[in-house]
Amino acid sequence: MVAVSRSRLIVVLVSVSFGAAAYGAPPSPHTSNSHKGIAYRWVDAQGVVHYGDNIPPQYASQDRTILNSQGVEVGHLDAQKTPEEEAAATRVRDALMKQRQHDAFLVSTYTSVKDIEALRDARLDQLKAQRAAAEQYVESLRVRLASLQSRALSYSPYTERKDGGRMPDDLAENLVRTLNELRVQSSALTTKGAEETALRQQFQADIERYRELHAIHSQSPVVSSPHAAATQAAPPVRQTAAK
């Protein structure tokens, strides 16, 4: 409990909107706000606790507690957040909602870990087939480029022969086109490798989360289904002060 001087105690007694409220004690149900059944408790800049049915404007954006007519805490309003804090809280809420939605998807789509593993293997087989086809195409581009480069050696400025003529336009165009295509497809091939790694990691994370949700279901007799466990697995979001 916060220690206060006699003068501060007088400040509290005067500032409380219902006359019988004492410092550190909840308001009496017989005060002027008893018909509303709601009061507030807040702390001023000097650390003094106040009670009242109306919060002074200078404290309206700070932490405060909601009390019923018996002085029992029934709610809490967080201090008003800065724009940066509000943006961070929004990101947290969005991530929480996304996690809950994904949890619900997991428990409503799969009946066991084997189902997840089966889908993972099928997706990986698709990526492997795409990767194999891409590798074949890249190899064919390399062969074509080598052939074009070999032909280009017969023309100026690549040949040492004095009678080497100017390179035909179609050969030069094919060289540039093939080289650019080889670069694009080689990059795409690297991306497919990264996609395969990301897919493995995502499915592994899903498997681990699925096991967690079923563990919650098995350990909590109150939760009636894995789907209910998915909705209860994340912590609730606290109420914040309206701006």
- Asked if 116 and 205 sit in the same domain, the reply is yes
Mean pLDDT value of segment 156-162: 75
68 and 108 both lie in a single domain: no
Q: Is the CB of residue 144 less than 8 Å from the CB of residue 185? A: no
Helix (H/G/I), strand (E/B), else coil: 6? helix
Higher-pLDDT residue of 129, 24: 129
Same domain for 133 and 179, yes or no, is yes
Domain, as residue range, for 141: 87-232
Dump the DSSP string for 53-70.
SS--GGGTTS-EEEEETT
Is residue 243, in this structure, part of any structural domain at all?
A: no
Same domain, 91 and 191: yes
228 and 112 share a domain?
Answer: yes
Q: Is residue 238 part of a domain?
A: no
The separation between CA 164 and the C-alpha centre of its own chain, rounded to angstroms, equals: 64
Provide the pLDDT confidence category of residue 157 given band limits of 50, 70 and 90: confident
1 domain-assigned:
no
Residue partners of 10: CB distance under 8 A and separation at least 6: none
Statement to judge: residues 44 and 62 lie in one domain: yes
The CA–CA distances, whole Å, from 125 to 3, 117, 128, 131, 193 equal: 70, 12, 5, 10, 13
Q: Read off the pLDDT of residues 43-102 as tens digits, 9 standing for 90 and up.
A: 887 878 877 777 787 776 677 787 777 778 777 777 667 788 789 989 999 999 999 999
Q: Under DSSP, is residue 42 helix (H, G, I), strand (E, B) or coil?
A: strand
**Residue 220 and residue 137 share a domain:** yes
Please say which residue of 26, 44, 77 terminates a domain.
77
Count of the separate structural domains present in the chain: 2
Three-state DSSP state, 54:
coil
Q: Which residue has the tokens 């050969």?
A: 171
> Which is nearest to 116 in space by CA: 198, 210, 201, 197?
210
- Show which of 58, 77, 96 is a domain's final residue: 77
CA distance 14 to 17: 8
Residue that is last in its domain, among 77, 99, 133:
77
Average model confidence (pLDDT) for the chain?
A: 76
Give residue 155's pLDDT band: very low, low, confident or very high (50, 70, 90): confident
Does residue 143 form part of some domain? yes
Residue 82's pLDDT is 77
> Tell me, what DSSP letter sits at residue 51?
E
Domain assignment present for 237? no
Residue 24 backbone zone (phi > 0: left; psi -120 to 50: alpha; other: beta)? left
How many other CB atoms sit within 10 Å of the CB of residue 146? 11
Residues 169 and 189 in one domain: yes
Q: Is 118 found in the same domain as 54?
A: no
Same domain as 221, residue 110: yes
- Entry field: residues in the chain: 243
Count of CB atoms situated within 10 Å of the CB of 18 = 17
Identify whether 71 is part of a domain: yes
Amino acid occupying residue 88: A
Beta bridge pairs of residue 52: 40
Q: Is 131 part of a structural domain of the chain?
A: yes
Residues 5-20 pLDDT 10s: 433 433 333 343 333 3
Q: Does any domain span residue 43? A: yes
Both 60 and 153 in one domain: the answer is: no
Does residue 107 sit in the same domain as residue 63? no
